[in-house]
A and B are shown apart, each in its own frame.
Chain A
Amino acid sequence: GQSLEQPSEVTAVEGAIVQINCTYQTSGFYGLSWYQQHDGGAPTFLSYNGLDGLEETGRFSSFLSRSDSYGYLLLQELQMKDSASYFCAVTRGSARQLTFGSGTQLTVLP
């Protein structure tokens, strides 16, 4: 089976940096994705790591270590609009199915 672990809640202030960790156990692993979901909204894609290392997309970066079955999402220069739930998800299978973690609720304080 598959399982993912990530913290349930993180709080930070505007302008700060926050790191959301994710550990996983899975078979047929292709990569680790990150999705953002605002209250009442649909999940939207943020980042993907298929290989070890760091991927940077603007204020967001994501890291993967396949040997450690570990990844993280790094959010820099936090803004109020970054308050949302963040999900890590392993990509597996012929249809690149996603298995999601339970999500991390990020609250950004002024």
Chain B
Amino acid sequence: ETGVTQTPRHLVMGMTNKKSLKCEQHLGHNAMYWYKQSAKKPLELMFVYSLEERVENNSVPSRFSPECPNSSHLFLHLHTLQPEDSALYLCASSQLGTREPNEQFFGPGTRLTVL
């Protein structure tokens, strides 16, 4: 256990559905991240929140909408997804403002299948 939990672990949804992924970190960290991991591709950084402010949005389609209500929780709201969005979605957290390396702690991921 890394101290980062994600729910659900598996999700199957149709292209017209709306669903949300949840991430919670129990480490007291001040930064949280969403990554997408597709087969045969590197982990892709989607969103970064530092002190609950969005720092980066890597040209992610608007059908993905993040929300960070507090430093411990991060959501990824999904709507009208495409089959190519099927992937493992990983959440991570880290403590910024301390000495490097500011390692990131990953949750187990949500395996998303879009039909």
Contacts and interface: CB of A to CB of B under 8 A. Distances in A.
A100 to B, nearest CB: 4
B69 interface: no
Range, interface on chain B: 20 to 34
B66 interface: no
B23 to A, nearest CB: 12
Contacts of A101: 42
Contacts, number: 72
6 contacts: A43-B90, A44-B2, A48-B103, A91-B101, A98-B33, A100-B45
Given A31-B101, A102-B41, A102-B42, A96 B106 contact: no
Contacts of B33: 95, 97-98
Nearest to B91: A42
Contacts of A45: 101, 103-105
B43 to A, nearest CB: 4
Main secondary structure of the interface of A (DSSP, over half): strand
A87 interface: yes
B42 A103 contact: yes
A50 B99 CA distance: 11
A43 B102 contact: no
A95 B42 contact: no
A29 interface: no
A87 B103 CA distance: 14
B26 to A, nearest CB: 15
B101 A33 contact: yes
A99 B45 contact: yes
Given A42-B108, A45-B105, A98-B45, 6 more contacts: A42-B2, A42-B107, A45-B104, A95-B33, A96-B100, A100-B43
